[in-house]
Amino acid sequence: MNIGLIGAGAIANFLLQQLGENEQNGLCINSVYVRNKEKYEGLEQQFGITLFTELDAFLASDIDLVVEAATIEAVQKLVPTILKQKPVVLISIGALADEPLLQQLNELAIQYNHELYLPSGAIGGLDLLQNANALGTVKEVSLTTRKPAHSLIDQEINEAQVIFEGTARDAIRKFPKNMNVSIVLALASIGFDKTKVRLVADPHIDQNIHQVDIIGNFGEATFIIKNNPLPQNAKTSYLAAMSILGTLQRINDKLIIGG
């Protein structure tokens, strides 16, 4: 499967290292869409890809699917057009907290028969959460995220500090680069207004730690994910990048585990 990538930041670089130079399990990045070609020129030689700044030319290149690894704004601007032509794997999932956009993308996916894949990103357990909510009987979902203080706030602090407490809807509005996980949790369960979020800036940790607590008729579940950050972007967990790779690896499988 030939992949077109949007973005050239931390996650994109991880994917290029895995799927740029060498094909892996039939997966290969051919084309990369960026806003500034000069800035990323070195990538063409390094990873054997072609850079594009025109969306139409990018979509007309030899690609079967597009991976978005850029920003919420890039999703808003580009993905409605892309979904008419290609399936999309989208990691800036916070964009979908905008209900009209969510509805539009859902309708385009159906109309053009192109899947919209939402990887589990820096968390896990979305299979359990969706199963537990198969009858709509999940009652509470809460996320407590702790990140290194310096990756969240400018001022020096000596003690861990809760810097946000509220709904997933407000969390992504205030922290668009840190709370995508809250939106995928909300989409998988009880929605943006019922999914509760706490964000803690902690000067004593160097990992991104997510605790997910779920209560429903099935019983209760708690997941704690202690993520190492990506070297290029401390806000972003290594697992978030790997979750795209995992999603791509599973797309063509006929044996579906945890489906």
Ligand X SMILES: O=C([O-])CC(=O)C(=O)O
Ligand Y SMILES: NC(=O)C1=CN([C@@H]2O[C@H](COP(=O)(O)OP(=O)(O)OC[C@H]3O[C@@H](n4cnc5c(N)ncnc54)[C@H](O)[C@@H]3O)[C@@H](O)[C@H]2O)C=CC1
Known binding positions for NAD(+): 122, 180
Nearer to ligand Y, 87 or 94 (CB): 94
Q: Does 122 bind ligand X (CB under 6 A)?
A: yes
180, 189, 195, 243: which one contacts ligand X (CB under 6 A)?
A: 180
**Residue 10 binds what, of ligand X, ligand Y, none (CB under 5 to 8 Å, by partner type)?**
ligand Y
Coil, strand or helix at 121: coil
Query: What number of chain residues touch ligand Y (CB under 6 A)?
Result: 30
Nearer to ligand Y, 207 or 218 (CB): 207
Nearer to ligand X, 51 or 91 (CB): 91
Nearer to ligand Y, 94 or 216 (CB): 94
d(CA 228, CA 122): 10
d(CA 58, CA 120): 26
* Cα dist from 98 to 69, 93, 102, whole Å: 18, 10, 6
Of 201, 252, 248, 207, residue with least CA distance to 226 = 207
Q: What is the dihedral of CA 181, 87, 83, 30, to 10 degrees?
A: 100
**Residue 227 binds what, of ligand Y, ligand X, none (CB under 5 to 8 Å, by partner type)?**
ligand X
Q: Does 20 bind ligand Y (CB under 6 A)?
A: no
Please, which residues bridge with residue 68 across strands? 6, 90
Nearer to ligand X, 20 or 229 (CB): 229
Stretch that binds ligand Y, among 32-40, 41-49, 143-151, 245-253 (CB under 6 A): 32-40
150 is catalytic: no
Of 195, 191, 196, 210, residue with least CA distance to 165 = 196
66, 227, 245, 248: which one contacts ligand X (CB under 6 A)?
A: 227
Nearest-approach distance from CB 254 to ligand X, in angstroms: 31
Stretch that binds ligand Y, among 18-26, 33-41, 164-172, 186-194 (CB under 6 A): 33-41
Q: Does 236 bind ligand X (CB under 6 A)?
A: yes
Q: Does 171 bind ligand X (CB under 6 A)?
A: no
d(CA 132, CA 127): 8
| Chain centroid offset of residue 105 CA | 16
- Shortest-Cβ-distance residue relative to ligand Y: 9
d(CA 134, CA 112): 27
d(CA 51, CA 38): 10
Contact 123, 185 (CB under 8 A): yes
Structure tokens belonging to residue 226: 């202690």
Catalytic residues: 210
Site of interaction with ligand Y (CB under 6 A): 6-12, 33-35, 69-72, 74, 77, 91-93, 121-122, 177, 180-181, 184, 232-233, 236-237, 240
